[in-house]
Structure 1
C-alpha cells in the first residue's frame, strides 16, 4: 500500500515509539506536525529534514517513487540553497550540502557539481579556506560541456573563482576567470538564471577598475545597465551606477562621477538597502573632503 507523506511520518513515528510532542520538539510546533501527519499541511524542506533526522532516516524515505515528487524535492533544495546564498547563511549551505551529498538524487553530474559549488562557499566564507574552496571549484569545472545547464553552472563556478581571487588580491587571476564567465554569457543567451548575466558583468567591471582598465569597466557597466532596463530588473542596477561613478572619478570627471554615486545612493534607498546607501554617502563625503584639501 502506498502511504502518503503524512502517513509515512506517523507510521514511522509510532513504530519507533516516539510521541508527537517529542518529534515536534525543536523542529516545529506539535499542531503543525499534527497537520502534516493528517496531510493538511506540506512541510518545508527544513522541517522535513528535521523530522527525518529525529527519526533516524534519510529525507528521501518520505518521498514516493514518482518523478514529479522527486523533481519537486530537487527544486525545493535549490530554493533553500538560493535563499541561504542571498542571506549569506553559509552554515545552512554547509548543512544542506553535507546532507544531500549522501542523497542518490544528487549523484548525477549536474546536481553533484551544483552541490560542490555551494560547498566551496562554506569552505571559503565559513572556514576561510581559500585553497580548499578553489580546489573544489576547479574540480567541478567542465568547460568541455556546451549544453545550457552545464554552461550555467560553469558560469557560476567561474564567477565564484573570480570573486574569491579578487578578495585575495589576486587581480589578474580574478580577471581571467571573470572574462571566461563573460565569454560564456555572451555565447548562451537562454540561461535559466537571467540575473547571472548582470552578476558576471558587475564583477568583471569591478576587477577592471581595480586594474585601472577604466574604459573596459565602463563598457561592461553600460552593458549591464542596458540589460537591467531591458528586463526591467533593479538587480545590480544601483551597483552599476556606483561602479560607473567610481570609474568616472578615476578619470577625473568629478561632477559626473559624484552624480552617479548620488543616483546609486537613491536607488539603494528605494530598495531599502539603507546600509549601502550610508556607505555611498560616506564615500561621497570622504571624496569631497579629500578634493577640497
Structure 2
C-alpha cells in the first residue's frame, strides 16, 4: 500500500503567485526544474522535492511557510494517518507493511523537512531492519541516528525518543546483551517517571513488560516481580488492560524460576483470565500446560 498526499493546494498557490507577478512558468523554473515539471506541480500531479520548493519560493520572493498556510492541517492529518498505519502494523507484527510504508515515505518532503517526522520513519526503519532483515548492528545504528535527530536535553524526553530507547533495549535483550538491555530500559523508566503525562499510554506497560523480562533473564527475580507489580498497580488505577495478561504471566514465570509453584500457578491463572476476557485464546493452552506441569511436580 502506498500513501500519497494531495499537494494541489500548494500547486495552486504557486500558480496564483506566479500569475500575480506576471511571470511565465519558464521564468519561474529557470535553473530549478523543467517547465514540464512545474506545470505538473501547479496541476497537483506531482509534489516538488523540498529543495525544489525552497528555490521556487525564493524565485517568487516568498517564505516557504506561505505555501503551507492552507495545507498545514492536511499535512499533519497525513502524518498522523501514516503514524496510525505504522502503529497498527507493529501491533500486528506485520513488519512487511512497516517496511513498505517507510520505503514509500522516506523521500516524501512532509517527512524529510521535519526532524520529528523523519525520526518516526527512522525508528520504524530500525524496527524492520531487526525483525525482518535480522541485522542487529544495522538496526541499532539506525535507531541511534533517529535518537540523535532531536535529543539535546537529558531532562526532557519526547515520547518518540522513549519509544526509540525501548526498541534499543529490546534488541539488546533479544541479542542476550542483558546488562545493556537492563541499563537502557531502566534509563527509559527514569525518563518516563519524569514526565507529567503521556499521550501514548502503551509506553508504560510496554516498558515494564520488557524490563521485567530482562530482569528475570538476569536472574534478578525479586526486582522483576517488583517491576511487574508496579505495572499492574498502574494498569488497574488507569482501568487499562494493555499487556496486563503478559505482565501477570511474567509474574508467574518469575515464581516458576524461583521454584515457588503455588505462586506461579496463581499468577498464571490470572493471566489466563485476562486473556479470556480479551478473547486472546492463542496463549491459553500454552499456559494451561505449564500449570499442569507445575501441579504434577
User: Which bin holds the TM-score, normalised by the shorter protein?
Assistant: 0.7 to 0.9
- In structure 2, what is the equivalent of residue 112 of structure 1? 118
1:31-67 CA distance string (max 9 Å, x none): xxxxxxxxxxxxxxxxxxxxxxxx984699xx99422
Tell me if structure 1 keeps the 8 A contact 2:261–2:294: no
RMSD between aligned residues: 2.5
Partner residue of 1:47? none
**Whole-Å Cα distance in 2 between the matches of residues 260 and 68 of structure 1?**
47
Query: 1:273 aligned to 273, 280, 289, which one?
Result: 280
Q: Is the 8 A contact 2:275 2:283 kept in 1?
A: yes
CA distance in 2, matches of 1:124, 1:190: 30
Residue of 127, 130, 145 corresponding to 1:139: 145
Unaligned runs of 5+ in 1: 9-54
| Alpha-carbon shift at residue 249 of structure 1 (Å) | 2.5
Structure 2, unaligned stretches of length 5 or more?
A: 9-43, 50-67
Q: Hey, what does 1:38 align to over in structure 2?
A: none
Deviation at 1:145, TM superposition (A): 3.4
Is the contact between residue 151 and residue 188 of structure 1 (CA under 8 Å) also seen in structure 2?
Answer: no
Query: Hey, what's the Cα distance between the residues in 1 that align with 2:48 and 2:240?
Result: 36
Question: Of residues 88, 92, 101 in structure 2, which corresponds to 1:87?
Answer: 92
Indicate the residue corresponding to 1:34 in structure 2.
none
**Equivalent of residue 171 in structure 2, options 151, 164, 167:** 164
Using the size of structure 1 for normalisation, the TM-score is: 0.74
Give the drift of 1:285: 2.6
Aligned match of 2:162: 155
Q: Which residue of 1 aligns with 2:205?
A: 198
4+ long deviations beyond 4 Å: 55-60
Displacement of 1:146: 5.7
Q: What TM-score do the two structures reach when normalised by structure 2? A: 0.73
**Distance (Å, rounded) in 2 between the aligned partners of 1:203 and 1:186:** 16
User: Does residue 236 of structure 1 match 2:243?
Assistant: yes
Give 1:50-129 correspondences, 5 Å limit: 57=46, 65-107=70-112, 108-129=114-135
Give the Cα separation in 2 of the matches to 1:235 and 1:80: 19
Between the aligned partners of 2:127 and 2:136, the Cα distance in structure 1 is 10
Contact conserved, 1:238 with 1:264, CA < 8 A, in 2?
A: yes
Q: Distance in 1 between matches of 2:146 and 2:187?
A: 15
